[in-house]
Homo-oligomer: A and B are copies of this chain.
Amino acid sequence: MARNTRQRILETALALFNAEGEPNVTTNRVADELEISPGNLHYHFRTKADLIEALFDDFEHRMLQILSAPEERPADIEDIWFLLHVAFETIGEYRFIYRDLTDLCGRYRGLHQRFRGILRLTMEAARSLCEDLIAAERMDASPSELDAVIRNIALVSTFWLAFDQVHDADGVRPDRAAWQVMSLISPYLVGEARTLLQALADAYA
């Protein structure tokens, strides 16, 4: 029963943080929504920081799984496309983290370090995938071009949600985000990899 309450608190907090922004939701608000006493919530999460950390644990666990999936063979375009979709779906589920990222990292120092870890792993995964494509002569990019692409992939992935919100909020669209990141790689693709991406693009449009 206690375990169940803990899980319900996490789910409700996540939904409220996503809908209204983490800075605008107090732990009392979460308790109200669940119709439990603030003391009961306090029993499971002593502070709001503890609650946020538990949500970040779940998010981090899922992102690490996605980004460090074992590779049985060199990656292809479909693998990258699939990885991007899964990653952006997860980011969408925990979008409160990405909405006010600099603010959140400023207020919760521990999170900043851990988010940097996820970012580093994202860049390593992107590099590994691109290097597979280059080795298979499906991509043509110089080392300095590859560095720029990796950095742009990390930047666009991280701030896609915030950009949508500032520019013209229209909800979370993992497929659009995946496509936007793909567009950073596409000009460097050659031969059938380029044809394949065009087919994916047509299927998407």
Contact = CB atoms under 8 A, between A and B. Distances in A.
Nearest to A140: B187
Interface in A128-153: 141, 144-145, 148-149, 151-152
Given A187-B145, A201-B144, A163 B167 contact: no
8 contacts: A100-B100, A100-B102, A101-B162, A102-B165, A103-B103, A151-B180, A155-B163, A159-B163
Per DSSP, chain A at the interface is helix
Interface in A163-188: 163, 165-168, 179-180, 183-184, 186-188
Given A145-B186, A156-B155, A166 B105 contact: yes
Interface stretch (A41-49, A50-58, A79-87, A111-119): A111-119
Given A158-B163, A158-B166, A183 B149 contact: yes
Interface of A: 21, 23, 99-103, 105-106, 112, 115-116, 119, 141, 144-145, 148-149, 151-152, 154-156, 158-160, 162-163, 165-168, 179-180, 183-184, 186-188, 201
Contacts of A100: 100, 102-103
B145 A183 contact: yes
Contacts of A112: 166
A180 B152 contact: yes
A158 B101 CA distance: 14
